[in-house]
Copies of this chain bind each other. A is one copy, B any other.
Amino acid sequence: MAKEKQISKAVIKRLPRYRRYLWELQKKGVEKISSKDLSKLIGYTASQIRQDLNNFGGFGQQGYGYSVDYLYEEIGNILGINKRYKMVIVGYGRLGQAMASYIDKNEQNFHIAGIFDVKQSIQNVEFQDAVISTCGTLASFIEKEKVDIAVVCVPPEKAQLVADTVSSAGIKGIWNFTAVDLDIPETIAVENVHMSDSLHALAYYMQDME
């Protein structure tokens, strides 16, 4: 990550969450909100929220609070999700298939250009306009198509091999579902998905109700 602009991952992880709540507020027609009310809504401390947003120059005005529309749009711009990305799905087992349809349904700006798997059999598969192929052609496809993101859904033991392949092919980001810590160049962004965090939070809520 660019050293001159080192913002903690935890701050970045909170932004999509802010954005979702702001979207809800927009739907309700709320125009402005204070960090205090945002705090009640989202559950972070008001000072944490001000500190988070100040990383980006902040958008609040003393005594006025934040403009919901503006903050929603700005967070989208900050996250960079208002532009289009090219993706490949690597590993087209259960999870790969699930993520492909999730992305297709929910993320208009993230386009699945190719789907790759070790199995020859998937070449009979169709998914929108995506190229379906075996992993042998993965690197050349990423180079030729200038693919931005690899969604890695392979078994853990294959994770590093895939990471090496897409890295040397010039991928910019890896969305890693393998629960393996990948060893990749610092110039490539990685996001590791930890489903368990969500399940463990649920376990807490449940006992909290007993």
Q: Using a CB–CB distance below 8 Å, which chain A residues touch chain B? A: 1-2, 5, 7-13, 15-17, 19-20, 42-45, 47-48, 51, 78-81, 85, 93-95, 97-99, 101-103, 106-107, 110, 148-149, 172-175, 179, 187-191, 193-209
Contacts and interface: CB of A to CB of B under 8 A. Distances in A.
Contact of A95 (B98, B188, B209): B98
7 contacts: A8-B44, A16-B200, A79-B203, A149-B202, A175-B202, A189-B208, A191-B202
Contact of A80 (B12, B187, B203): B203
A208 to B, nearest CB: 5
Given A80-B204, A174-B202, A191-B202, 17 more contacts: A5-B208, A8-B44, A9-B43, A13-B197, A15-B201, A16-B196, A16-B197, A19-B200, A20-B197, A47-B47, A79-B203, A93-B98, A95-B101, A106-B196, A172-B206, A173-B205, A191-B198
A157 B48 CA distance: 37
A195 B206 CA distance: 22
A2 B198 contact: no
Given A43-B8, A201-B79, A205-B12, A196 B107 contact: yes
A188 B174 CA distance: 36
Contacts of A20: 194, 197
A163 to B, nearest CB: 14
